[in-house]
Amino acid sequence: MGNQYKDLEKKIKVTFKDKNLLKNVFIHRSYLNEHKNFELPSFERLEFLGDSVLSLITSVYLFKNYGKLKEGDYTEIKSAIVKTGSLAEAADYLGLNQYLMLSHGEEKGGGRENKNILADCFEALIGAIFLDQSFEASYQFVGEFLFNRKLDHIVKNELYLSAKSRLQELIQGKYKTTPKYVVLKEEGPEHKRVFEIGVYFKNKKLGVGVALSKKEAEEIAAQNAFDNLSDL
């Protein structure tokens, strides 16, 4: 059997010694529900490892390249660059979705475009490169495909400050009080819960956010509040 990952290896500039490890990057747990005797596990363990490796890479990179920032800034920048959207974007750029092994149901439900699955797959790839090659190889991979241009842009424009942080700073600075976040609606099955959250100041609704996690919905609500700032 030929190497089905040749194009990908060329793109990521990594030639895997263990091709099974690379294959493992793309096995979603839903696939195993339909292929009980499949020889490899899902990518979840690799993703767990990749998440930790990515965290260390980000810390080392910021430490080396942005010496003038405060510790609090590092934390904010770190969460801005390693958030699901950024990882999914990098996965999309590399075309990782075409290699994903999904169940028929997940396939029909748009699993290949699912940002969470793409982000998890990207982290699994980081974990696999770390195991197959070295920390240095995974560091270079992340530098090129996740940080390149994007991180500089985030730091220069202070985009690492979340809308929630900025809204809190603004209201606290002006009125010595903080905005309140209230869950307005919660619906959908356990694994696909949708939250609608409103952000309030002095009983006035400033913005609303809808997302698959409370944290994300709060962030969207805060961003929405900035769009309506004249109401403040």
Structural domains of the chain, ranges and CATH numbers in brackets = 6-156 (1.10.1520.10), 163-231 (3.30.160.20)
Q: How far is CA 189 from CA 178, 186, 197, in A?
A: 32, 10, 18
pLDDT of residue 6: 94
pLDDT of residue 2: 52
Q: In what order do the strands lie in the sheet with 204-211?
A: 180-187, 194-201, 204-211
pLDDT in tens, 28-40: 999 888 888 898 9
pLDDT of residue 1: 41
Chain position carrying tokens 């994300």: 216
Out of 9, 51, 73, 107, the active site residue is 51
* pLDDT for 128 beyond 90: yes
Mean pLDDT of 186-215: 91
Out of 120, 123, 218, 219, the active site residue is 123
Per the annotation, the verdict on 123 as an active-site residue is yes
- Average pLDDT, rounded, for the chain: 90
* pLDDT for 20 beyond 90: yes
Q: What percent of the chain shows pLDDT beyond 90? A: 58
Taking a C-beta distance cutoff of 8 angstroms, is the pair 103, 181 a contact? no
* pLDDT for 77 beyond 70: yes
Highest mean pLDDT among 102-116, 133-147, 202-216: 133-147
Mean pLDDT of 188-200: 90
pLDDT of residue 56: 95
* pLDDT for 232 beyond 60: no
Per-residue DSSP letter, 147 = I
